[in-house]
Amino acid sequence: MNDRLPASASTSIRLSVNATASSDPEALNATAKFVATPEGTALAYGSLVFMALLPIFFGALRSVTCSKSKNAADMPETITSRDAARFPIIASCTLFGLYLFFKVFSQEYINLLLSVYFFVLGVLALSHTMSPLMSRVFPASFPNKQYQLLFTQGSGESKEEIVNYEFDTKNLVCLLISSVVGVWYLLKKHWIANNLFGLAFALNGVELLHLNNVSTGCILLGGLFIYDVFWVFGTNVMVTVAKSFEAPIKLVFPQDLLEKGLEASNFAMLGLGDIVIPGIFIALLLRFDVSLNKNSRTYFYSSFLAYIFGLGLTIFVMHTFKHAQPALLYLVPACVGSPAHRPHHFTPCSHVCFVLSLTFFPTSLLPPFRSVFILRPPRLSRQ
């Protein structure tokens, strides 16, 4: 029997515990339910927090460069307020659609299709992530040839470009290395390969998905806040999909690493949505700091520290009450509330999102933290 607490397919942090059962009493006694040691638990949680911070920090830095890039391959995708308002609805439809698929069709074939799909995406994402690093590793004397992949439609004056992608020899080397990792994941589903793909997805998401303003960020965070709470606490849909879904859409770290080494199998998990969604908001604040042409990065660092606080609070509640938690329940008030305390440049939308977060915040779990938020409301008027 594989007894595992739910791992959100989009935005929830989970503690996973595996156990083996058998009708043989001796085998049952030999394979008693795993109980993580304090050292193993601390190592797993600490590693998850560290891994979550990497794509946010470096993805935010790369988003500044990306916003100034004129290369078509590196152009960011801008999220408007309309996109942000639709996103929770689209995510809900997608989640429920997957739930129906897993109920109607064979889980084995669906996961096989998803494995191939994420193999291709993971190889491309990891290759894009490694590309800047490889540019520094290779010596200047390395024969770096330029290539262009061009697909057009029509002829003459009516010719239209469909794909126009420029790359070089270093990109091909990155693609080769990423393909090796992809084959490793496809064949073994090893947790390290899963994390390499997961980190690449998260970093690319923070780098290439840009919010057009703070109000859009608050709409997105507020909508996904309700989405996360509803699908985790209100139904079993997300739990069912998460248990059935085999894809690198979460970061994992074994709690029994000290006992079993790299073959460990009892994981703590963090959904990529808990990294990317707050991450693109934090990256927006960094670009805003840069636009002020000052040496300080106040908004970026305050929101980055708030994210650490929110993630730590999630782990604390989960560990205390032994129940899986939707991380956005804690990350949204922290990330939106921190910059909203600064009086300049923010709109009433951030205040609405902040109040909305407090409305759904679980007072029965942590009343002292709610009291702190209420006693120190964000100041939004310009001084």
Round to whole Å and give the CA distance between 208 and 181. 22
Of the residues 3, 228, 256, 289, only one is catalytic, namely 228
Q: Is 228 among the residues known to form the active site?
A: yes
Round to whole Å and give the CA distance between 269 and 52. 11
Q: Is 274 among the residues known to form the active site?
A: yes
Helix (H), strand (E), coil (C) string for the chain = CCCCCCCCCCCCEEECCCCCCCCCHHHHHHCCCCCCCHHHHHHHHHHHHHHHHHHHHHHHHHHHHHHHCCCHHHCCEEECHHHHHHHHHHHHHHHHHHHHHHHHCCHHHHHHHHHHHHHHHHHHHHHHHHHHHHHHHCCCCCCCCEEEEEEEECCHHHCEEEEEEEEEHHHHHHHHHHHHHHHHHHHHCCHHHHHHHHHHHHHHHHHHEEECCHHHHHHHHHHHHHHHHHHHHHCCHHHHHHHHCCCCCEEEEECCHHHHHHHCCCEEEEECHHHHHHHHHHHHHHHHHHHCCCCCCHHHHHHHHHHHHHHHHHHHHHHHHCCCECCHHHHHHHHHHHHHCCCCCCCHHHHHHHHHHHHHCCCCCCHHHHHHHHHCCCCCCCC
Structure tokens given for 43 = 């190592």
The distance in angstroms from the start CA to the end CA of the chain is: 61
Q: Determine phi and psi for 150, rounding to 5 degrees.
A: -130, 125
Strand partners, 153: 160
Give the residue carrying structure tokens 């708030």.
306
Residue type, 219: I
Strand partners, 254: 267
Residue type, 153: Q
* Catalytic residue set: 228, 274
